[in-house]
Amino acid sequence: MAATRKTITITLYMSELIYDVQNKTYLTGRSRLNGQNHEEVAHMQANDDDENANQIARSIGNAFFNLKTQLAEYVDAPGTTADDILISTDTNLTMALLMPSNYNEGTRESLAVALHQYLVNSAVGEWFTITNKADAAEYIQMAAANLGTMRDAAHRRTRPVRPEVETVDSQG
């Protein structure tokens, strides 16, 4: 008898991901402002300019495809073709995961949040690799921690329930 699997679908909204990338870079830049480094701070902050938007979308796409590799044992992505086209900033990212039948569905929100944070921290880390190398390592470390949270949430299982056994009266 084949084990039944549960499909967990997670949708990550590009608008939320982009906002978080821009907000984190803005807050980091503002925290570095000492009154004399306006130009440096401005270059640290992501914005909606085409070149910045393209880099953010590329970074989020890179992180998303890496995420599929990290979750390969669960990802339901049939097909035999792939491409490297830039993900559109108005496209949402959806991942269908085929989880074991005893997967604890109570952790699906934790899994979704860890996926979101991984994408954001990876994109910010990649952004700062270009604009502020000193801060890049911190965000790359946070992305690695998000992977740990994600794996923990993906590996949660429900406790087994003892089946009732029908007994046969042998004194019949």
Instruction: Print pLDDT tens along the chain (172 aa).
Output: 456 899 999 999 999 999 999 999 888 888 887 777 777 777 778 888 887 888 899 999 999 999 999 999 999 988 888 888 888 888 899 999 999 999 999 899 999 999 999 999 999 999 889 888 888 999 999 999 999 999 999 998 888 778 888 887 766 5
Q: How far apart are CA 20 and CA 120, in angstroms?
A: 7
Asked if the structure places residue 126 within a domain, the reply is yes
Name the strand (E) or helix (H) holding 121.
helix 108-131
Structure tokens belonging to residue 151: 């794996």
**Model pLDDT, residue 171:** 65
For the chain, the farthest-separated pair of C-alpha atoms sits apart, in whole angstroms, at 95
Asked if the structure places residue 68 within a domain, the reply is yes
| Phi and psi at residue 155, to the nearest 5° | -95, 5
Which residues on adjacent β-strands are paired with residue 96?
Answer: 9
Asked if the structure places residue 169 within a domain, the reply is no
CB 28 within 8 A of CB 44: yes
Q: Crossing angle of helices 108-131/50-70, nearest 10°?
A: 130
Domain span at residue 128? 5-77+86-154
Q: How many domains does the chain have?
A: 1
CA angle 162, 164, 170 (to 5 degrees): 135
Q: Which of 171, 111, 170 is nearest to 146 (CA)?
A: 111
Which residues on adjacent β-strands are paired with residue 93?
Answer: 12
**Model pLDDT, residue 31:** 83
Asked if the structure places residue 167 within a domain, the reply is no
Asked if the structure places residue 39 within a domain, the reply is yes
Asked if the structure places residue 105 within a domain, the reply is yes
Asked if the structure places residue 28 within a domain, the reply is yes
